[in-house]
Structure 1
């Protein structure tokens, strides 16, 4: 049994791992690498032949885990994609949205030509990474399986999916393998969620696992525990919308983060802990994702299900508006009363949030509140590091709006949460392979996991491990 780390090696995007068992090749996740900026053409090159892959297992729908599946199929993969039902539905809307971003990102190469002493500009369009037809081909390959039900892949391999609490439908993939007469177990965590998050279940402990490929996004970092989410939002809204009438603009990932935020706001306003303030959710993708969360409310946590029974729809309340049309989105600019605007994308790379930034980045009465991770190289990362100017819609603009952040909405377990997840595995793993993290944090996590008595490897891209 061989394991090759082909992605998320000392970085947080492009998860992609190859498991080979007696010449049977399983690809676990196939995500986009977007840390290098908007030019995504490097994602079109695979270090293996896609037609040689026998099976794909998808841990969850986020683009850094699912976003390159259409390219894989475009380049010759013909097999199935195994995942949970909720993951399949969320992946469909996220992949479709990716195509829209490809087509709208103006990824053009501008060439200048001279003609009779005058300069003319000729624009050559780059081909997008993939198109909607490739997304539809991808959707056709999904085969959904339930949580914690053994799925027989072949006579030698059994797969079982365990909830990780990171995103609706997110799962760790646990394989039981018969390899040359020996039984071996290996698991891929995907992304591990925090305990007691607003709408998702807690991560479920894995059974006996010999080899563990674990994310390490928050290695070396601890989440803020000084306030609970409700109190933090109440303070933020009071300070930025009521005490000083203004706008609270929250860039939020359309899938998962927006739904958690809306649910907490629902609790706050339904308890009348603040006077009513208009809340705009301006993201067509978030609207679709919210419908999927409604459909799969039976796999959300017990608190949400109880709220649904006693108060009705957890994603609807007075003064909440889901913005659908672009015209409505532009009209928010003319809303001069205090309000809360929730829009995507969370890292500010595309989406309607850029329009709201363009109109408010120089507004001293506006506050931009980040509630999620921003990869290095993104516009969100530049604002968070304190850049005084940013480029929006081709224009260099000074930053006068207040920039703030919280990790209370983080969908990732922190350093201690990752250690606890590993410690609760039924029998500690023989080896742990750390991926999906930054080098300094991975080193800190490695040191603490080794104190359990586990062998720990920080994987480099292309590392092959014989298990």
Structure 2
């Protein structure tokens, strides 16, 4: 049995791992790598022949894990894609959104000496997404699925996102059974809406994410305490507006549910809340469809008070005219819109009209990569460029990591410590910056684990 790490090696995006037995090739995740300027070429240049892949296992729907599946199919992959039912639904939604993003980039033209030239070509089109969706075979959590006579798969819930799973494979070779687990992305305990990560069975090998290696979540407040305090400061004490850039899938649902709990308890008056993202509305319907996967707290809320994602004074905005009309709403309000890093989407409209407003607060609830507009605001730039205009930053800028869907350093350590260091043969670290991986490795080595920071393209023989 051989393992080759082809993505998310010493970086976060582009998860893609190839597991090979004597006569079977399994690809675990096939995510977009968007950390380089040449991302189009990088994602088209598979380091293996796609027709040679027999099967894909998808841990969860986020684009850095699922986003290159249509390209794989475009280049000749003909097998099935195994995932949980919720992952299948969310992945379809996110892949179609990716097509829209590709096409919008292509439509942005620049005038040159010879007229207009088009932007980058789309990596894939809607027809490729629909071909991808046709390949999905869904498997519930904690159910052993026989791939063939020698290989069995079990999905274990890990929180992080609706439907997200660790993939545990049991493989028989030459009369010997070996087990290997791929963590996907590991969630944190007590996250709004989502269930806590479950324990893995003991395995021989573990491929583990390390996004928060060396870092622990900072806040000592609860989500509800933070939101209550922020809304009170931004909208009650002074009649302003609170703008929250939030990813449409996962973060927005956690945020809406948390606000619902706050208003239901009477902790704040029911001020107006706009969710200005069509994608968020569609994703929320998927959360409702898979309601049985929500955590016990959310289930209890539903039984006592009804829909977790619907309440008085909450409006889900779909069409652009309604979105533009929000700028004419002069009462205190909360605006939740995407994208989370401010790189495109309707959030830029709200930013354009409010960044110079002293009575506006912008609360970041997610990570903003270097180079993004969100990162520039967080580092304190006094002026930003938006729509070819220089705008002074008078709005209050805040940030919290309470809505991060990733487990922190302590969570990661506890996840690995479910394995007996005397029994597990190797822990491979992926999906993290080099400094995070090194910090995580150091901590695991102190616990007597054999640890390898995976190198891209290196093949490991799993004896």
Q: Is this a same-fold pair by TM over 0.5? A: yes
Aligned partner of residue 410 in structure 2, secondary structure: helix
- In 2, are the aligned partners of 1:207 and 1:426 still within 8 Å (CA)? no
Deviates more, 1:239-248 or 1:251-260: 239-248
Please name the residue that 1:329 is paired with.
Answer: 323
The alignment partner of 2:147 has SS state of strand
Local SS of the residue matching 2:7: coil
Change (3 A) 1:393 1:138: farther
Q: Give the aligned partner of residue 437 of structure 2.
A: 442
Offset of residue 171 of structure 1 = 0.1
Query: 2-side partners of 1:38 and 1:380: how far apart?
Result: 22
Of the candidates 180, 194, 201, which is equivalent to residue 186 of structure 1? 180
Are 1:87 and 2:87 matched, yes or no?
yes
Q: 1:402 aligns with which of 390, 396, 405?
A: 396
Match of 1:70 in 2: 70
Taking structure 2 as the reference length, the TM-score comes to: 0.96
Q: Which residue of 2 aligns with 1:117?
A: none
Alignment partner, residue 425 of structure 1: 419
Q: What are structure 2's unaligned runs of at least 5 residues?
A: none
For 1:367 and 1:73, how far apart are their aligned partners in 2?
Answer: 44
Which SS does the other structure have where 2:321 is aligned? helix
Deviation at 1:314, TM superposition (A): 0.7
Partner of 2:248, secondary structure, is coil
Give the drift of 1:424: 1.8
SS at 1:260's partner residue?
Answer: helix
Paired residue secondary structure (1:6) = strand
1:72-91 C-alpha deviation (Å, 9 max, x unpaired): 11111111000000000000
Change (3 A) 1:38 1:405: farther
Q: How many residues align?
A: 461
1:211 aligns with 2:205: yes
Instruction: Note if 1:49 corresponds to 2:49.
Output: yes
Shift of 1:139: 0.4
- Report matched runs for 1:11-410 at 5 Å: 11-36=11-36, 40-106=40-106, 110=110, 112-113=112-113, 121-410=115-404
Cα separation, 2, equivalents of 1:104 and 1:87: 25
Deviation at 1:396, TM superposition (A): 4.0
SS in 2 for 1:237: helix
Output the CA distance in 1 between the equivalents of 2:279 and 2:41.
Answer: 24
Q: Give the distance between the partners of 1:38 and 1:374, measured in 2 at CA.
A: 20
Which residues of structure 1 form unaligned runs of 5+? 114-119
Q: Work out the CA distance in 2 between the residues paired with 1:260 and 1:282.
A: 15
Name the TM-score, length of structure 1 as normaliser: 0.95
